Structure 1
């Protein structure tokens, strides 16, 4: 289990110190986040706040949800402050400093996750005492999820738990890096793995085999054709930085030796659909091509041929209503009226799909995320702190 690079005996007192502490936990998505979750849980427990954990099926990762109740003890309704605890890998990247030993340089805090998005989580934790001291008319909830970076995998179980317990939040702010500007929409994420099963043979006897790589290549080319068709014909939404649904193949594996006809090839593909457009349409186009063209050709060569498509992750797009109370509140607090939409995905779409109006606003610039020498500026952390203090005050009785 990953260990922090700093002592866990005391809790930080400022947003910068909290962010430094969180960065010191290596919570790369392929690893566990339980040490970080335990640390946060212990801190909240010391503040008299109970946490609810929802685990993945391995028990090695967990979401944390906690509620600061209203002055009258109410724990339903209220606003959720949501962020993800996982970070992307640093493999192959050249960092000036250790990515999990945060450094302050030139007014910036460097480290993996500083921007995406431990800065936001750090600010929310630093403000817990203020939340407790404020006579809240409505509760404030903290939601910290796992595996957002690989398709918002963790958040669904946490949100389902909220539904089952009748928490019924009235709004959600997801603190992804937006330079503290309001983001009202993002695309949906859909990730699939396709496995093409052929038949192995010595390469000198290719007619006796069934080449899985070659048939997988045909499917991949069709996926590219689908992407090109959408780019050329739409639909479009010019408020997005990439104004149409995108489709791509990202990973491929197959073959065991040069002189062997490969009996298996698997690849992953993803598409990011505009909110309001059906994500099923693209998958159905891929399936239709396989059923009408690829499978008949394959089975003529070998009756045992098979193709499987497995869903790895799916998260719906976000399209916040301008008249929603949470949208109006964030716009008022940030004094930002511009309509901004982004191609990346967040758990905001999942909260919205569960009936919780949501919006995105957090410290840092998304262009710094996932890169070597990732950082968040101290100015952005300060802006986030002022924003959340104003949000807390807006919930006062």
Structure 2
């Protein structure tokens, strides 16, 4: 098992954990390393559920904060091991997970080790399976078995936000739009019905679709409806009897999951539609006193979070939550994923100052 040195800088910790592969479903080695390192700290009570690690202070403070980050990544594509890179005179770490979101995890590990007397009690969470279906998410599993661990006055997700504060998040829906036909030999196609051809109107509706921009509590969220996968075909000489177009809908947090589902069904009226994954968005939550205090302390200008994050999970539990972490969200999942070194340092400095100020 690789060892993590929590006395190292947050930049070196980022490099170390990025060089431990942890694609969704294969987080065990990294989870073991985190548990081993955190379990040595006398000021934290540690609990593990699967590959999710929770560490808590118990200082009797008047307020408790949850600070969380996921340890899984999307699949590696030639972007490991991590390497140093300089762009426009600025130092970066390049490699899978540097942005989404192991730089944020590294900052959290560093601070968890060193903040033995913070001004609030802190629950640190490092969890698995964020990049896949919501039902597999480590926080989803943990909230069912240990809901008491989510009790807090405020939560921070270390998702990439360019070192700024991003409030709330869009909701996320995936659906399969199906067309049906009749199989036939392709040499006698007229006796069959081509299901792939029947999907042309589905793609046309997507091409013509104009997404909304929606203001929610002062932040403007951009929606999106896109085809992300098409499946169809039986063999090179067979007219296919089934075609499935998978679509992804990102919807503003002002829209409920019920309304989002109905909207997708309305767009594809006349077709078979099956919703296969659905997660509500989260309103910004920036009206909470602790959120306002945090934003002021780190000197950030709040922005909307377009992608779905687990702030939605905390919001659903009545805990206001924001995203705050190093890395450009546009480079999340990108083959050229890279994080500016100074953002890692700045986020650590901002969190440390807020958590230790009197």
TM-aligned CA deviation for residue 140 of structure 1: 0.6
* SS of residue in 2 equivalent to 1:112: coil
Q: Distance in 2 between matches of 1:116 and 1:288?
A: 34
* SS of residue in 2 equivalent to 1:64: strand
Q: Distance in 2 between matches of 1:308 and 1:205?
A: 30
Residue 204 and residue 221 in structure 1: after superposition, are their counterparts in 2 closer, same or farther (change >3 A)? Answer: same
Structure-1-length-normalised TM-score: 0.78
Partner of 1:3: none
Note the alpha carbon deviations across 1:53-72, whole angstroms, 9 max, x for none: 344xxxxxx333221222x4
Structure 1: runs of 5+ lacking an equivalent: 1-6, 56-61, 92-97, 295-306
Map 1:125-140 → 2, pairs under 5 A: 125-132=109-116, 134=117, 136=118, 138-140=120-122
* SS of residue in 1 equivalent to 2:215: coil
Which of 208, 211, 216 lines up with 2:194 in the alignment? 211
Is 1:18 aligned to 2:17, yes or no?
no
Partner of 1:280: 258
Is 1:309 aligned to 2:274, yes or no?
yes
Partner of 1:361: 324
Residue 332 and residue 277 in structure 1: after superposition, are their counterparts in 2 closer, same or farther (change >3 A)? Answer: same
Map 1:1-397 → 2, pairs under 5 A: 8-9=2-3, 11-13=5-7, 14-29=9-24, 31-48=25-42, 49-55=44-50, 62-70=51-59, 72=60, 78-91=64-77, 99-106=79-86, 107-132=91-116, 134=117, 136=118, 138-150=120-132, 152=134, 153-154=136-137, 155-163=139-147, 165=148, 167-225=150-208, 227-228=209-210, 231=211, 234=212, 236-237=214-215, 243-287=221-265, 293-294=270-271, 307=272, 309-311=274-276, 313-336=277-300, 338-394=301-357
Instruction: Indicate if the aligned counterparts of 2:6 and 2:37 stay in contact, CA closer than 8 A.
Output: no
* Structural RMSD (CA): 2.8
* SS of residue in 2 equivalent to 1:41: helix
Q: Distance in 2 between matches of 1:119 and 1:385?
A: 10
Instruction: Indicate if the aligned counterparts of 1:52 and 1:66 stay in contact, CA closer than 8 A.
Output: yes
TM-aligned CA deviation for residue 316 of structure 1: 2.1
Q: Distance in 2 between matches of 1:206 and 1:162?
A: 57
- Worse-matched range after superposition: 183-192 or 364-373: 364-373
Instruction: Indicate if the aligned counterparts of 2:83 and 2:93 stay in contact, CA closer than 8 A.
Output: yes
**Count of residue pairs the alignment pairs up:** 349
* SS of residue in 2 equivalent to 1:127: helix
Residue 171 and residue 286 in structure 1: after superposition, are their counterparts in 2 closer, same or farther (change >3 A)? Answer: closer
- Worse-matched range after superposition: 189-198 or 347-356: 189-198
Note the alpha carbon deviations across 1:229-254, whole angstroms, 9 max, x for none: xx3xx46339767x542111111011
Structure having the larger proportion of residues in strand? 2
TM-aligned CA deviation for residue 270 of structure 1: 0.7
Residue 38 and residue 281 in structure 1: after superposition, are their counterparts in 2 closer, same or farther (change >3 A)? Answer: same
Residue 52 and residue 194 in structure 1: after superposition, are their counterparts in 2 closer, same or farther (change >3 A)? Answer: farther
* SS of residue in 1 equivalent to 2:262: helix
Instruction: Indicate if the aligned counterparts of 2:298 and 2:351 stay in contact, CA closer than 8 A.
Output: no
Structure-2-length-normalised TM-score: 0.86
Partner of 1:302: none
Note the alpha carbon deviations across 1:205-242, whole angstroms, 9 max, x for none: 445434322333333433444x33xx3xx46339767x
Q: Distance in 2 between matches of 1:103 and 1:286?
A: 42
Q: Distance in 2 between matches of 1:90 and 1:46?
A: 31
Q: Distance in 2 between matches of 1:265 and 1:149?
A: 26
TM-aligned CA deviation for residue 265 of structure 1: 1.8
